[in-house]
Amino acid sequence: MTVAELEDYFSGIELPKTLELYPGTKLNDVAHCVDTHLNVLKIYGNVRPYECFYDRLLKIKEFVDRAQENEAD
């Protein structure tokens, strides 16, 4: 998934306010996190020193997708 595709994905959905990304890692403002991570990737690209930003966005996307699937059930 490209950075542009991630940006499109996150621009059209409602994000949770908080999220436990990993055990012991809680995001208190998911929308702000997504915004800053996308900005970093747009500036620097998905190169090795910034891969963690891309990985976190994919993890947030997984949580959001799973939550939407659970709501549909």
Which residue from 54, 61, 51 is spatially nearest to 19, judged by alpha carbons? 61
What's the pLDDT at 30?
A: 97
Residue with tokens 């699937």: 69
What's the pLDDT at 57?
A: 97
What's the pLDDT at 68?
A: 86
pTM over 0.75: yes
Classify 59 as helix, strand or coil: helix
* Model confidence pLDDT, tens digit, residues 10-62: 998 999 999 999 999 999 999 999 999 999 999 998 889 999 999 999 999 99
CA-to-CA distance for 32 and 30, rounded, in angstroms? 5
